[in-house]
Amino acid sequence: MPAARPEPVPRARLLPALTLAAVLVAVPAGCTLGRQPQARPAPAPVTVAQVGSGAQAAAAGNIPEIVRKVEPSVVTIFVGQGLGSGVVWAKDGTVVTNHHVVESVLQSGGQVEVGFADGRRVAGTVRASDPITDLAVVQAERTGVPAATFQKSLPVVGELAVAIGSPLGLENTVTAGIISGLHREIPEANQPSLVDLLQTDAAISPGNSGGALVNGRGEIIGINEAYLPPSTGAVSLGFAIPSTTVVDVVGQLLKNGRASHAFLGITPQAITPEIADRLGLDRTTGVLVLTAESGGPAADAGIRPGDVLTRMGNRELEGVEDLLDELRQHKAGDRVQITLVRGGRTQQVEVTLVERPPG
């Protein structure tokens, strides 16, 4: 089981195969066994769907038909004494799941078991994973399995969202709701934040991680990632990695064994009113540079600790999530114009991004 991280949004983590794990704050929805990271308060204002929206969503689509179409493509990933969920990518047995679902076995050969909707369980091997986007590819020893269809564009806020997976070890569980928001962020302790996530009120629980979030046409619109548990005061706040990200990253993992991420070389910090007051800043928007790595792209371009980044390219930077999302749109070698404020004066620098170093 993955070690607990300080105050993360609970992902739908691995669930102990026969034991209900304690639900902690903001839990990654993956493994249902062992300690789970604690959830954080929602990092940004969110639009919360009203109670009962799941029933309203059910009226907006033929959910039984959607389930019949997609359920054969949703699997359970058994990892030691825990489990998570996954989605069949290709009929050769390629399966997509979360990195945090399989993280615990990566140092020991990446061996897992994959359980299919028809009850069959086969051996599987982790082919590649990407901690930055929290995605992984597992090769199941089975062919001829029905592959899911992944939507190549973002869903619309308010449209039907059906979650299918194995929450708390209850395989082939279906919950329904709507897409409650786009472009959400989950801050992660001691590692890059997960950004540009879908928000849904379809119920997500430990064990759902890596499972399917499906639209009314039976297309995968997201891979379930995390939820805010009731102990935070939240009601039905779940998060999923959008299919647009999944298609891009899984394509890279299958082709290259790794995913590429552009690197700026700074430690970013959101600007709270308290920070603004302490530093004498006249704004709470933008991104404060805490550190600029020596020899990194930002430092080489003249960016210093204490600078406030306000724009990258054509994008205004309201906060850290905007910076991280914009970086995801670039690749190593891209040159980007960054606008910053230093000592009350605005200036521009050009930064050449590099490949994010491992670790």
Which residues, at least 6 apart from 338, have a Cβ–Cβ distance to it below 8 Å? 301, 303, 309, 311, 312, 348, 349, 350, 351
232: left (phi over 0), alpha (psi -120 to 50) or beta: alpha
Is pLDDT of 56 > 70? no
Which residues, at least 6 apart from 82, have a Cβ–Cβ distance to it below 8 Å? 1, 13, 14, 15, 16, 17, 31, 32, 33, 34, 104
CA 102/CA 130 separation, integer angstroms: 11
Share of the chain above pLDDT 70, in %: 81
* φ/ψ of residue 356, rounded to 5: -60, 125
The average pLDDT across 242-248 equals 95
- Pick 162 or 328 by higher pLDDT: 162
Mean predicted lDDT score pLDDT of the chain: 84
Indicate the residue type of 322. D
pLDDT of residue 13: 52
The average pLDDT across 99-109 equals 93
| Residues 79/125, Cβ–Cβ less than 8 Å | no
DSSP character at residue 27:
E
pLDDT of residue 356: 85
Q: How confident is the model at residue 14 (pLDDT cuts 50, 70, 90)?
A: low
CA 312/CA 155 separation, integer angstroms: 26
- Pick 230 or 295 by higher pLDDT: 295
Lowest-pLDDT choice from 135-139, 209-213, 261-265: 261-265
- Pick 131 or 50 by higher pLDDT: 131
Catalytic residues: 100, 134, 209
Is pLDDT of 253 > 80? yes
Q: How confident is the model at residue 57 (pLDDT cuts 50, 70, 90)?
A: very low
**pLDDT tens-digit profile of 149-198?**
999 999 999 999 999 999 988 998 999 999 999 988 876 655 566 778 99
